[in-house]
Structure 1
């Protein structure tokens, strides 16, 4: 029963990550306002994180250093990755995005090798090679069809590098700190504040005026799903360990593709299947031995 619960958690987290990409695509296409969507991602995420923080008294006491780390992560996540991803998702298919974003664990361990965070391993290096082959295969056909898509694809490649940087910063943070919930709350609050100032400055439709209720609900759900998946991931790591939990990376990639096909009628080509296979093999080869944060 215990292992079944772990598996259910694993699938639930992967489902959350997978479906959120399709939800974001629907939101940005409907509103044509990627930065406004990014604000609501952070704002709703902050509200949900506040509720998460409130569940434990230990999280309410400020942990020294969390503000500076939270600010750095907010810049990378809310201002960097989310905005880039939201623009990219407007132009690329969800199935393509799934492979590119799915390379995050591979990029993380590539950077880890370079800066000396992780020891050299032939197995992990092979995983990195598989990851880059996956992206190369994905772009090969599109290069001759639509150069604009390739441009957006290259821009999309910035996102896994940003996420990888966040992983490494969180690794550094976790050496002397443990209040991950508090860090998450600060990251979302700071991100929401920065994006609020920007949206007010440029005069965007931040309140989603003249937007139907269902669209507002969909936009609001994005941040909630993000926080839910993070909370469940912390729980899963504490119960089943980081190696088992790392399987979310490739299962989420599969779910993202499935939802892209289901919601947007995207075609599943041989090229895509090969890319997915390569990226999953690559992720398996670079599985982490320990978590990047403490629960």
Structure 2
């Protein structure tokens, strides 16, 4: 059986299935978040660099749910790395979200070309954690060597590592490293939509149209997207699908009433190509994107 929640390494309980808003325009985000929460989601994932934290907060308020019922996850962008800048990044994020405490605050990229600033940012997250401003801290797109150096130079092991992970790119080495450190692996692009990530990869193909996934989906009366989300959850991962379409939002949440067999999970595992579809965190310096996070 698959649990609907996961316990992080500091004891905090997080809903396993989250709702993502990457590439959701500010104009669509509030309505999508409100719809997701009314559908049953209780975990929302955003980021300073997405430019829609304010609308995420608005969607949560529109839902009518108490703040304590919604697990909010957001990310610090690399332009705000460094101890004091990262402390202030919390203020900016909390101000836009309209909350006093963030459930999970993570570093968006390892930024290996300026890793001293990444370490300082991580130490700021530790301070925010000890002060109770965040309930848990994490990282995103960290590869094993980034993890090893981070853990050697800081005091608190991150609770979550959010990485590109779908049937065509399963990152077993990163998942193994996460497991060894007691870090929960969380999948962005969990149903492979990011195979159409702009600017990366010339030979893209949609995971959603894979015949193996189609066959498994037909056997359960489900969709390929639902099979992929179930595949993540049954292996103990967190997944954060995104959509602004109410029907898709509901479809992606309807994954707790069926079970994949061990053979079916193995068939999905075997689809791995070893080729990422999004940017390689070692090859592109994220600071070069020129993203500056505005004040709240």
Asked if Structure 1 and Structure 2 have the same fold, meaning a TM-score greater than 0.5 normalized by the shorter chain, the answer is no
Shorter-chain TM-score range? under 0.3
**TM-score, structure 1 as length reference:** 0.28
Relative to the length of structure 2, the TM-score reads: 0.28
